A and B are shown apart, each in its own frame.
Chain A
Amino acid sequence: MAILADKTKELIELLSDKTNDNTIQWTKTSADNGFQYIFKKGSIIINNSYDFNLDRAYMNLILFNDIGEVIEDTYVNSDEEKNYFNYLKDFHDLIKRKYLKVDETIESFFKELGKDDDLPPI
């Protein structure tokens, strides 16, 4: 059973808050479905992958230090570590939503539809 240290959970909570209020901006990594945030003395990445052979999804959270060494690597799968998986998946989904500016895009759709409401009925 993979374990997320309390300090790591605290970091995730703080990053979630900062991501939610758009204080920090994540960027895409070279991994498919991966996001990174670079600190002054390290970085954090979160990846979401799927193993078609085993029919399992994975969440991978990695912390790097200032010289790019992996200092924490948490790898959880959707079958055996469901709680941890869901916890990291929620975090990943939040980042993805913010990175893709989903809310802003939907807001713009609303605005556009609102404009259409002003048009005279046919």
Chain B
Amino acid sequence: MKNDRTKWTLRIFGIGSILVFVLYFNLPDTQKSTLNAISLFGTYASVFGLAVAGYQIFLIKGISETTEQEVKNTHKRINQIISVADLSKANKIVQEIQHFIGTEKHELCLLRMRDLKEIIIQSKYSSNLNTLTETDEYNEIIQKLSIDLNNISDFSRSNKKVNFGIINENLEHISTIILNYESNIKSHGNTSR
């Protein structure tokens, strides 16, 4: 591609040189001098050089725009991979919390719920996921998780009654939504629903 371009440049330069040569020989005899020949050819070479430089700048601009777009695409893809990894991690944590509820390890359950909330809040602010997270459904997840965290915390501190059935239901709902988001990103490569 580059060699082709060089060949074409040389060809155009050659044709132009011939035209300049013809032009010089068509000049009246009084104007034919070495100085005029050099001046004519020099002007041609300068104009040609400027044209080539302009063309090169145009090409470089095009290349830089394409490169910028590629960098953006790669960055977006990397973010998507990170988002999928975070969502998978969140889903794993949901399973751990359900296990801790089942085995009545409430302190561990509380710790993992805080980790889950952290991931869910971080995802809320991820520009890559905002079409999925700026929804009432996602807001409901955050609110219910926070309320459940508050209730388990009260349960651990002052032994207040807590319905773990409802907490499990809420966790199951979170898991379903996360899986849905994850599949969406994996299969479509974007965050549109």
Contact = CB atoms under 8 A, between A and B. Distances in A.
Nearest to B168: A30
Interface in A68-108: 68-70
A43 B147 contact: yes
B166 interface: yes
B29 interface: no
A42 to B, nearest CB: 7
Nearest to A45: B147
B170 A38 contact: no
B162 interface: yes
B150 A70 contact: yes
A93 to B, nearest CB: 19
A115 B41 CA distance: 114
A30 B151 contact: yes
B89 to A, nearest CB: 19
Interface size class of A (residues with CB under 8 A): 20 to 34
A31 B163 contact: yes
B106 to A, nearest CB: 12
B146 interface: yes
Contact of A30 (B140, B158, B163): B163
Interface secondary structure of A, over-half rule: strand
Given A30-B163, A31-B154, A31-B160, A64 B139 contact: no
B167 interface: yes
Nearest to B164: A30
A75 B37 CA distance: 100
Contact of A67 (B121, B140, B166, B170): B121
A49 B117 CA distance: 26
Contacts of B160: 31-32, 49
Nearest to B121: A67
Enumerate the 4 nearest inter-chain pairs by beta-carbon distance, A residue then B residue, closest first: A68-B146, A32-B161, A43-B143, A30-B166
27 contacts: A28-B163, A28-B166, A30-B163, A30-B166, A31-B160, A32-B160, A32-B161, A32-B163, A34-B151, A36-B144, A38-B139, A38-B143, A40-B136, A40-B139, A42-B143, A43-B146, A64-B143, A64-B146, A66-B142, A67-B124, A67-B142, A68-B117, A68-B142, A68-B145, A68-B146, A68-B149, A70-B146
Interface of A: 28-32, 34, 36, 38, 40-43, 45, 49, 51, 62, 64, 66-70
